[in-house]
Amino acid sequence: MSEAARTSTRAIARAAVRAKLSQVAFELFLREGYDNVTVDDLAAAAGVSRSTFLRYFGSKEEAVLNAFDTHGQDVADALRARPTQEDDWTALRKALDTVVGHYRKDPSSALRMTRLVLDTPALCARQLEKQHGWRPALAQALAERADPPVPVTVALSVKAAAALDCLNIALDHWTASDGRLDLEDLLDEAFAALGPGSAADA
């Protein structure tokens, strides 16, 4: 077996273990309450040592929120791939369909996860911190898709931040409706409120 194959196999095995530990943590938090569960509890429930658990996740917050780690880069990649003739706001909206897709795969589980995050101050704060890290990547993607590419400006950073706020507000309303409202429609509504011709644009 080549070194590249061995590396790939290790990465796949590590991802599988992380997924298992994350699911155990998620279910335990739902059952016992986030604040009532310690890292030791998570390790015991997963059948591993505390040190093993911490080798995969540095904190109990990360055990749940790791599922969101790739979302920012996914959106940035989708943004770069949007047609250059699209305006920035439309391109941002379409790029966020990559996030909506994650919620559509398993709406019930996604709803439970979102509610857990929103109802847990520590998780909510950490998730917002993660999203803050997405903003530069989105602003950079907007700059790169310009023809010709331009430096990142304040305006592009504001657009990226506003797009993420639209996503969060849409998720808030989706969660409050117990998933009955369509997340894509809510996101469209949020973007329309700030788009050209809106009251905010007047």
pLDDT in tens, 139-164: 999 999 988 899 999 999 999 999 99
Mean pLDDT of 36-59: 93
Fold observed for domain 70-197 = Tetracycline Repressor; domain 2 (1.10.357)
Instruction: Give the model confidence (pLDDT) of 68-127 as tens digits.
Output: 888 899 999 999 999 989 999 999 999 999 999 999 999 999 999 999 999 999 999 999
Looking at residue 7, its pLDDT comes to: 62
Looking at residue 5, its pLDDT comes to: 56
As given in the structure block, the two tokens for residue 77 are: 């990649």
Looking at residue 14, its pLDDT comes to: 81
Looking at residue 3, its pLDDT comes to: 57
- CATH 1.10.357.10-classified regions of the chain: 70-197
Distance CA 52, CA 132 (A): 29
195 or 35, higher pLDDT: 35
CATH number corresponding to 3-64 = 1.10.10.60
153 or 3, higher pLDDT: 153
Instruction: Give the model confidence (pLDDT) of 11-31 as tens digits.
Output: 778 888 888 999 999 999 999
Residue located via tokens 């015991």 = 44
Looking at residue 202, its pLDDT comes to: 41
- CATH 1.10.10.60-classified regions of the chain: 3-64
Name the nearest CA neighbour of 143 among 161, 155, 130, 132: 155
Looking at residue 4, its pLDDT comes to: 57
Helix (H) or strand (E) holding 26: helix 3-32
Distance CA 154, CA 167 (A): 20
Question: Which runs of consecutive H residues, i.e. helices, occur in 47-153?
Answer: 50-56, 60-65, 71-81, 88-95, 97-105, 107-119, 121-145
**Residue 201, pLDDT above cutoff 60:** no
Looking at residue 196, its pLDDT comes to: 72
- Its pTM stands at 0.85
Looking at residue 6, its pLDDT comes to: 59
